[in-house]
Structure 1
């Protein structure tokens, strides 16, 4: 390839997308990054590329043999060969027992072997012996980071950067932690410093752009991306990087759209179409921009082409309505608009006769006789086919005034016609016998929705008598009984439905939920264990973040007055949300490397509103109720219990104490047996490989939580 010329300022680019440094590039970097390195950059995450860099500097403080051993420690840490690393560290410490960086690295290795107290002791000792080593401070930060002590990790990173302000690895770790903690101003500063130090690396350009975007400075992010594009050759990207480059271009277009630069975004799309691989996202984004620009005919043409690919996509159908000026946010339409919408969907039905969406959407805006006719045409084939989810599809219509009465009229008419003639009204075609059963099921669900439980039960009983082998009938009857308040009967029916298909996980889960509603916690646990690994339902359900189970268990225990176990379950849900927040950490570097920028920003926005989720609110409310009840009715202290015992007759007191001792001994024995079983099952899997043992829960019943 030819070198860059001063006229074009183009820079030949390697296969990895890294821009080569030229005077023009350095100048644009200075202009964009405005190199004003903060004297105290704010810190992030934890890797250990830094000690490898430090290992080269070790030769000045260690003899050659020991310096090579230090490199072995670092390499062993990175390859997870911890025993080998410890052996190398011990060899150095025999000759240099107070060598700070070796002590720190040994502590970091022990931390990975779950020997935390020793790890902290060694790292602090190493730091005390070498306070001016950025490696010691970095390792100390890594230790805090592994325990999610972000504030302390930040302090350690700051101290490390005071000693070595241009350390790329520490700065990179810092930027990740700043993104995690949403320290956006610090994130911009750190990314700016990384770009200044290493402008020939693609991730530094992209990271700097994303940092500005997250800081609500989309225009600056666009400038950074355009400066990066200016460093690339005209024939970039190579074949193996086309998708990543296309994602970056789509991200840039989304930034232009976000800034309101719609004409420029459209121009960019036309210019870069050949370089964008994700054609579906490209067409969706172009149609969206055209719609915002008011170029409705062009937008409609693209959306209709997308409908040809997927005629059941509600988003495309609603977009076509918007292009035609036939969309209302509140669902209220004039008579003229209803006529035009009907004509639109009638034409779409002819074009996409197999699409359920084009038949279902008109039910939302049609009224009166037209609604009755459309609902009749929609329901009949689904009853013949036997679709159990039909009522779930129709249930939003019950929120529309008057439509519930029309549906009731329709359902009863269909039931009467099939019962008397075996055909639908106005049809001479004989329906299969199952059609009556599915119609009775639909009618029973209708009356259940309208809280007429006696009629609903009569209809579902008739359906069961007609075809007693359909599992859905028993599940629906159980739901009706639950709504009517008969929880124990609902649980029994759910268990009967489950027993008809023991391989169905959904039926098992539905049964467990009904049992928990009936406060049959022990039976629910035994049922849940049927679909968990190794027969350990609690740990597996917790590991799978099965929050519906924990919430239902917590509510059941609360109703029974067992506040300890109730709190245990509610706080387990809160722990899941903490884990979800922590789980985003690895994506801060992964998404920049893989260039999945739009998904990354969307994920960060989702994380910012994570605690608005319904399950978190339920768990928080449940825990608050438990604490309020504990405040209003505190548990008796041991002294008060002893006073009450002393008032009892001696024989009764002795008998009660013996009973308590037996219960304690039995609980201790069961815990030991369970621990032994878990140890043997986790130490060796089916393949014979050793696995990590699960940590022991020291408070399985939440007794310490209520003290």
Structure 2
């Protein structure tokens, strides 16, 4: 039963609420305890004390106290509201919504509970529930515009366009006087209404509405863009042409405007090349400093027209010394003619051939300008021959060395030389050269990050962090790494994690991948604040765009890379539990590695090195712990105390008892948001086949087959799947077996001879190293006794003319995973070193 407080205690309770709102938590606790001394079972006070404890980070104390408050007063809306707030803090939004709804039944008129419930419903994308909550809030306070807008958003996102438009129109009709011309919120709201009409498919009415508001709307650019788009989609091409020309008058370098103008004029890049050329010549003449009207024609011109236009464009850019010139035109290299033509033009510049200006005279240059032009040409050619579609690393090295000789302090030139070393496969020289480039401009953040990235690619983790520390707040808890995590510097965390994975330091690798996973969680949670903020500020279109972006945020390449690497680490830990204790001496196959013929001295040396590394990590951990203890009481710039990381080395992550279950946490998001990435599907198979979830494994195989039926990894997995099913000790349940029998033949006919199927695949792809490696993997699964022949065949792939450095490195990794003896590994390395003498991977066995 609820307790009734005395007037004095009721006044104290109101003070508790004020202290909580003002974040005066110590005073709030003290005041609450003063009430509880007289009223120990007062539910509302217990609930408020729990809420304050939760704000102080004492969740373990807060939840029991909140439950006690509910037991003492089950009919208190305050207790239920607080209980919901605690669940919200725990990110358990389903339970929080249940608590809010119960609180709302007890106090239907509470605007705070109603608002908190609505925000959570939007967070969970419960649009129908959000509409219901917003309708109640609108009825309670119809004079507030944001309530009307929120109601419209609820209907819009639920696909109810007519209702959404009706809500906004009704509000406009309630206005007694027209809004001010400078009313940004009204301007945004009417544009949002226009997007709703357009999304409903009624473009004609959307255009009429847009024209009615165009003169008074403050976002002129958006109005003009929307009008041009509507006219084009309505096939009113003459008006659309005029609209796009007006846009180009405002911004002649925005390529989408040119695309729209081409469609409005009915010009086809394959058929109307001359008309298009005249169009772009007109804009180039009117905008002599613009890039787009000169660059776009290179996409569709051919033959002599292309050569003339490319010569003019390249000469202009190189004369100006534009560093991004190559980046701007490399997309043309998919066309061999254009690639070769560009090569001829720029090599002509390098050999002293000038270009004639429009007046017919050859451009004269001062000695300084001539040297600058020559440097730009050499720089371009170095990038040209370093690019994968025109790669000749010897020529690239020659050209960049000449450029550096002319400009020895150019950061860009040294960076390109580092990239050339990277493509040689020499990570050590690439790292050293990029570090040299960094020293030429120590105040530049970009070259600093590039140097750190190359150091991580060379597994120099400490040196990379030291470089990054030059631009971080090193006094924060956790030092430079802690600040990089706070700043959500994902490229660094990803490269650092992949480096540790290569070194088989799984704890630190998983720590980095888990941090990236958590950052995406933070991005998901951060939108919560915008559900109310955007409505207050009236930024509706941007808010809707953000919601739609959030729905696919985990499709970002950073997440997919981290997830795939984490899954690889967890599957290795599942297959080879000894990896928990650190890197194995040879490869990852622990049992075979111990039986290897490595001499005792080498083994002892490796063990000593591992022990020393462990001691270093322990010392770092202890030092970090002391530093965190010293800074534990120090509040950050936002006034919040930074929490100490209880597991900086990732020890808990690597010692997991269920690595595949942990892998599923990454895999579920990967398959949901990146199903078109074939490596996501093949990674899913690897997890599910180990878990014995054969239907899910088959589902991944079918999805991968639809993406690329000839994928080498898929081929090996299909054979392994069939082999696994054939060797099961117990039959599958009838329901599972019937589904597999129905679906597997789409990948592999039921009576297929696996060995013959594999050899046919091998014959079809005899010139592809990746496919041969996969087929040999499958052959090893089918016939483990043919180990020697398979290893020899793997070495023979090095003779393939099209094999890449990456594929050769993958072959070496495969040999190690098979625990091939040292002699065969050395022979493979020696053969590979002849083709890639600079590659770091083939410097030693």
TM-score by length of 1: 0.83
1:615 counterpart = 2:558: yes
Q: 1:219 to 1:637 in 2, by over 3 A?
A: closer
Asked if structure 2 preserves the Cα contact closer than 8 Å seen for 1:191 and 1:207, the reply is yes
Q: 1:606 to 1:413 in 2, by over 3 A?
A: same
Asked if structure 2 preserves the Cα contact closer than 8 Å seen for 1:682 and 1:692, the reply is no
Q: CA deviation at 1:675?
A: 3.4
Asked if structure 2 preserves the Cα contact closer than 8 Å seen for 1:184 and 1:215, the reply is yes
Q: Deviations along 1:590-622, whole A, 9 cap, x unmatched?
A: 112222111111111111111111111101110
Q: What is residue 144 of structure 2 aligned with on the other side?
A: 201
CA distance in 2, matches of 1:248, 1:322: 30
Q: What is residue 438 of structure 1 aligned with on the other side?
A: 376
CA distance in 2, matches of 1:656, 1:417: 57
Q: What is residue 533 of structure 1 aligned with on the other side?
A: 473
Q: CA deviation at 1:236?
A: 2.5
Q: What is residue 260 of structure 1 aligned with on the other side?
A: 201
Correspondent of 2:125 among 182, 206, 209: 182
Correspondent of 2:28 among 62, 85, 88: 85
CA distance in 2, matches of 1:353, 1:248: 39
Correspondent of 2:642 among 694, 701, 704: 694
Q: Deviations along 1:655-698, whole A, 9 cap, x unmatched?
A: 99999999888766644443343454575589xx8954422222
Secondary structure of the residue aligned to 1:277 is coil
Q: What is residue 5 of structure 1 aligned with on the other side?
A: none
Secondary structure of the residue aligned to 2:443 is coil
Larger relative contact order (C-alpha < 8 A, sep ≥ 6)?
1
CA distance in 2, matches of 1:305, 1:232: 34
Correspondent of 1:326 among 267, 273, 286: 267
Q: 1:656 to 1:451 in 2, by over 3 A?
A: closer
Q: What is residue 282 of structure 1 aligned with on the other side?
A: 223
Q: 1:385 to 1:579 in 2, by over 3 A?
A: same
Q: 1:532 to 1:581 in 2, by over 3 A?
A: same
CA distance in 1, matches of 2:139, 2:98: 23
CA distance in 2, matches of 1:96, 1:623: 53
Q: Deviations along 1:278-306, whole A, 9 cap, x unmatched?
A: 22212222222222222222222232222
Q: What is residue 467 of structure 1 aligned with on the other side?
A: 407
1:237 counterpart = 2:174: no
1:675 counterpart = 2:625: yes
Q: What is residue 476 of structure 1 aligned with on the other side?
A: 416
CA distance in 2, matches of 1:283, 1:81: 51
Correspondent of 1:162 among 105, 109, 113: 105
CA distance in 1, matches of 2:166, 2:336: 52
1:581 counterpart = 2:524: yes
Q: CA deviation at 1:267?
A: 2.1
Q: Deviations along 1:178-224, whole A, 9 cap, x unmatched?
A: 11111122222222232233333322211111001111111211111
1:388 counterpart = 2:388: no
Greater shift after overlay, 427-436 or 593-602? Answer: 427-436
Q: 1:660 to 1:287 in 2, by over 3 A?
A: closer
CA distance in 1, matches of 2:236, 2:80: 58
Q: CA deviation at 1:466?
A: 2.2
**Number of aligned pairs?**
623
TM-score by length of 2: 0.70
Asked if structure 2 preserves the Cα contact closer than 8 Å seen for 1:191 and 1:208, the reply is yes
Q: 1:673 to 1:701 in 2, by over 3 A?
A: closer
Q: What is residue 703 of structure 1 aligned with on the other side?
A: 651
Secondary structure of the residue aligned to 2:370 is coil
1:363 counterpart = 2:363: no
Asked if structure 1 preserves the Cα contact closer than 8 Å seen for 2:580 and 2:654, the reply is no
Q: 1:656 to 1:356 in 2, by over 3 A?
A: closer
Q: What's the Cα RMSD here?
A: 2.8
Secondary structure of the residue aligned to 1:297 is helix
Q: What is residue 404 of structure 1 aligned with on the other side?
A: 339
Q: What is residue 447 of structure 1 aligned with on the other side?
A: 385
Secondary structure of the residue aligned to 1:585 is helix
CA distance in 2, matches of 1:246, 1:109: 41
Q: CA deviation at 1:480?
A: 1.0
Correspondent of 1:222 among 154, 165, 176: 165
Q: What is residue 247 of structure 1 aligned with on the other side?
A: 188
1:597 counterpart = 2:540: yes
Secondary structure of the residue aligned to 1:341 is helix
Q: CA deviation at 1:167?
A: 2.7
Q: CA deviation at 1:275?
A: 3.6
1:347 counterpart = 2:282: yes
Q: What is residue 682 of structure 2 aligned with on the other side?
A: none
CA distance in 2, matches of 1:685, 1:534: 15
Secondary structure of the residue aligned to 1:502 is coil
Q: 1:261 to 1:419 in 2, by over 3 A?
A: closer
Correspondent of 2:312 among 354, 369, 377: 377
Asked if structure 1 preserves the Cα contact closer than 8 Å seen for 2:621 and 2:649, the reply is no
Q: 1:220 to 1:419 in 2, by over 3 A?
A: closer
1:112 counterpart = 2:62: no
- Structure 2's unaligned 5+ residue stretches are 585-590, 592-604, 656-845
For 1:536-547, what aligned pairs fall within 5 Å after superposition? Answer: 536-547=479-490
Q: CA deviation at 1:125?
A: 1.2
Q: CA deviation at 1:485?
A: 0.8
CA distance in 1, matches of 2:215, 2:408: 60
Greater shift after overlay, 655-664 or 224-233? Answer: 655-664
Q: CA deviation at 1:161?
A: 2.1
Q: 1:356 to 1:547 in 2, by over 3 A?
A: same
Greater shift after overlay, 589-598 or 629-638? Answer: 629-638
